[in-house]
Amino acid sequence: MTRAATATKSPKGATTRDQILDAAARLIHLRGYHCTSLDDVLRESGVGKGNFYYYFKSKEELGYAIIDRVMQAFIVRALDPVFTDSSADPVAQIHQFLDRVLESQRQRNCVGGCPIGNLASELSDVHEGFRQRLAGIFEVWRSRLTEVLSRCDEIGGRATRGFDPSAVAQFLVAALEGAILLTKVTKDIAIMERCVDQLKQHLTLYAERADSIVIQGAPAGPANGRGR
């Protein structure tokens, strides 16, 4: 076990490490990774350089720790509260998730955007290590939505023929990231509201079309053996 890992097991060590991560995450979210220096992080966190290097070998290692932290927070705060119940209506769950994303942007007053998307835009073409880790977060997001959408077939055959849960999940991730970016650029929450509304309507079509297919394709009562 490394010295830093041992130190973080103590309350004081965990607090100091969290101070550094909190400060760095705030700065990087607003300024970007490249425009945030270690001196900025030390000044913001109130931690000395010696303490910083006790927990992190480099700015790069700090960046990796922030990405890991963002992923865990995203799972615990955004995905698990909505999608844990496997017996719930999947479309209703995704509607709830969309509402939570919208509310998050509303509370931020359209400032900052998506921390994952921001880092992906800045670092994916210039740092392979960061690109792989960030891609992993989007994959977790897509996989979770795919699992939820796959349940559409289990609830009365709601999904339309040719429905691809993975493709729809990828579309939702891409659409939400684009909506958050446009909201950040325009500082207009109405853009996010309209995009969320359109995504909800898009998802509802799967259920409506499936219901229509079931109704139109079902034989009349007496002919299906359940008549008189």
CATH number for the domain harbouring residue 144: 1.10.357.10
- Asked if residue 199 and residue 96 are part of one domain, the reply reads yes
- Asked if residue 91 and residue 37 are part of one domain, the reply reads no
- Asked if residue 188 and residue 81 are part of one domain, the reply reads yes
The answer as to whether 224 is a domain residue is no
The answer as to whether 121 is a domain residue is yes
Question: Residues with Cβ < 8 Å from 218, sequence gap 6 or more?
Answer: 224
- Asked if residue 79 and residue 53 are part of one domain, the reply reads no
Maximum Cα–Cα distance for the chain, whole Å? 85
**Tens-level pLDDT at each residue, the chain (228 residues):** 444 544 455 556 679 999 999 999 999 998 999 999 999 999 999 999 999 999 999 999 999 999 999 999 999 999 999 999 999 999 999 999 999 999 999 999 999 899 999 999 999 999 999 999 999 999 999 999 999 999 886 655 555 666 789 999 999 999 999 999 999 999 999 999 999 999 999 887 765 544 443 333 444 444 444 443
The answer as to whether 48 is a domain residue is yes
Residue 69 belongs to domain spanning:
65-217
Q: Which of 57, 73, 98 is the last residue of a domain?
A: 57
Rounded-to-integer distance, Cα 58 and Cα 109, Å: 33
Distances (CA, A) of 227 to 215, 220, 221, 222: 16, 9, 5, 4
Buried residues in 112-124 as b, exposed as e (16+ CB within 10 A): ebbbbbbbbebbe
What would the two tokens of residue 161 be?
A: 């023929």
Q: Name the amino acid, one letter, at 38.
A: L
The answer as to whether 223 is a domain residue is no
* Residue pair 221/227 in contact by the 8 Å Cβ criterion: yes
The answer as to whether 222 is a domain residue is no
Distances (CA, A) of 146 to 1, 121, 140, 172, 176: 37, 24, 10, 10, 15
- Asked if residue 207 and residue 111 are part of one domain, the reply reads yes
Determine if the pTM surpasses 0.85: no
- Asked if residue 208 and residue 181 are part of one domain, the reply reads yes
